[in-house]
Amino acid sequence: MRFTDKVAMVTGAGHGIGAAIAERLASEGARVLICDIDAELARERAGDIGAADGIAECCAIDVVRRDDVQRAVDRAVSLWSRLDILVCSAGVMDREPFLEASDAHWEKVTGINLRGTFLCGQIAARRMVAQGEGGRIVNVASNSGVFGGRGRAAYGASKAGVINLTQSMAIELAEHDILVNAVGPGPTLTRPEDQGELMASAQNRMPLKRYGKPAEIASVAAFLASDECSFTTGHVFFADGGFTIAGVMEG
């Protein structure tokens, strides 16, 4: 029960990786604010956590809107008097070829993935600083942030930005005892009905030749959000089946 008496806010928590992280934190005692742009999904996840004897409330927000993010932080504080943990999981991976990508595509992907992480991190950190007791911020990056991919110019650039943002936040917030790290998922089975088989290009580069499970990403995020993570900040922990470290696979 690493998170007893802790209050956590998780964005993009209506489904997939965000939902798994919220469930993991709640299962270890955290009081969790489930944030998602889809109000119904947020309510469902909060209900699931409650049914499992956890404590959760929901808040529908658009992470690219500063007022929405402030409202969510204020709600967590009004419910439980504090905010100790922020997990920025809200994201989108729409793909378009580079030569055909529209301004709308670029602005949507970078807006949600990078601007949203910035806004949530800044507003939550201001609250943590005011409390004076430190905190933990965990951003969800991606291995697409460290190498290129077809159709992923906006997505890869946004996740590379999240990695650098994590590093910059870690430097500036260290004096307030707020540790900032990121988890970098590889291919993860968040929508089994749509994803099909793991793509060949990924299989050829992954020592563990399978999709990750949201719960496996959540276990890394939970460590980064916990007091056990006490001397690590500004790092990205890739939960990607070895995808990021793979070089020559033959021989």
Q: 238: which strand partners?
A: 184
155 is catalytic: yes
d(CA 22, CA 218): 8
**Cβ neighbours for 86, distance < 8 A, ≥ 6 positions apart:** 8, 9, 10, 120, 121, 124, 125, 135, 136, 137, 138
Which tens digits make up the pLDDT trace of 44-54? 999 999 999 99
Does the predicted TM-score (pTM) go above 0.85? yes
Which tens digits make up the pLDDT trace of 177-200? 999 999 999 988 888 877 888 888
Which tens digits make up the pLDDT trace of 56-107? 999 999 999 999 999 999 999 999 999 999 999 999 999 999 999 999 999 9
Is the pLDDT at 245 greater than 90, yes or no?
Answer: no
* Helical axes 103-110 vs 153-173, angle rounded to 10°: 30
What are the distances in angstroms from CA 18 to CA 187, 203, 214? Answer: 15, 25, 8
Phi then psi for 8, rounded to 5 degrees? Answer: -125, 145
Mean local confidence (pLDDT), 158-179: 98
* Two structure tokens written together for 47: 């209900």
Per-residue b or e along 159-194, where b marks 16 or more CB atoms closer than 10 Å to that residue's CB: bbbbbebbbebbeebeebebbbbbbbbbbbebeeee
Task: Indicate the SS3 state at residue 139.
Answer: strand
Choosing from 3, 155, 211, 243, which is the catalytic residue? 155
* Contact yes or no for 17/186 (Cβ under 8 A): no
Give the CB-side neighbour count of residue 22, counting CA atoms within 13 A: 34
Residue 99, class by beta-carbon neighbours within 10 Å (0-12 exposed, 13-18 middle, 19+ buried)? exposed
Mean local confidence (pLDDT), 13-28: 98
**Answer CATH for 7-239 from 3.40.50.720, 3.40.50.11540, 3.90.1560.10, 3.40.50.2300:** 3.40.50.720
